[in-house]
Chains A and B, each alone.
Chain A
Amino acid sequence: AQKITQTQPGMFVQEKEAVTLDCTYDTSDPSYGLFWYKQPSSGEMIFLIYQGSYDQQNATEGRYSLNFQKARKSANLVISASQLGDSAMYFCAMRDSNYQLIWGAGTKLIIKP
């Protein structure tokens, strides 16, 4: 069965430090896409970064990078130089062969000043 696992319900990080949010996935499809979304307390889901299963290089978007380890089936999100505004829920998701998104339970990230 297709599944996304985020093992960190919550994380506390000092401002300006880098933070890694874990995500592992399970699928037998050779073609899939992995996404990270940020959800602040306002509720809106904000797209952060995408990694395709056939992409050779790890995706990067500004301060966000995705540490994609295909053999381990992991797609960890790395946020460099964290900011107070990074405090939010972070969700990892996978798009399967039916093009539907499968979601992890999320990680609540709190950045401390």
Chain B
Amino acid sequence: ETGVTQTPRHLVMGMTNKKSLKCEQHLGHNAMYWYKQSAKKPLELMFVYSLEERVENNSVPSRFSPECPNSSHLFLHLHTLQPEDSALYLCASSQDGARGRAFFGQGTRLTVV
């Protein structure tokens, strides 16, 4: 138990569906992150929120839409995804600062069919 909870753990969706991934942390952290991990690729940082404000958006396609309503919750809204978007999506949180290690959720394994 790392203090970061992601739901659902597994998701299968069609290309025309709309779904959302949820991440919740009760560690009092002020930064939250979405990562994508595809097979045989390094972790890709998708979005960073610091103090509920998006500070990083690494050229992620608009079919991925993040939302951070408060410092404890982070969502990733998905619509009209492609099969190549199938991956493990990891949420993390940290306290800003050089020593602030990231705590990760268990991930959502997404399959787009």
Report A's interface with B, CB cutoff 8 A.
31-33, 35, 37, 42-47, 50, 52, 91, 95, 99-101, 103-106
Contact = CB atoms under 8 A, between A and B. Distances in A.
B96 A99 contact: yes
Given A43-B88, A99-B31, A50 B107 contact: no
A17 B4 CA distance: 33
Interface of B: 2, 31, 33, 41-43, 45, 48, 56, 88, 90, 92, 94, 96-107, 109
A44 B105 contact: yes
Nearest to B96: A99
Contacts of A47: 101-103
Contacts, number: 54
B105 A95 contact: no
Given A43-B88, A44-B105, 7 more contacts: A43-B107, A45-B102, A52-B98, A52-B99, A99-B98, A101-B102, A103-B45
Contact of A44 (B42, B56, B94, B107): B107
Nearest to A97: B98
A43 B110 CA distance: 12
Contact of B104 (A33, A44, A99): A44
Nearest to A37: B104
B79 to A, nearest CB: 24
Contacts of A35: 101-102
A33 B45 contact: no
B105 A104 contact: no
Contacts of B97: 99
A33 B42 contact: no
A106 B2 CA distance: 21
Nearest to B109: A43
Nearest to B94: A99
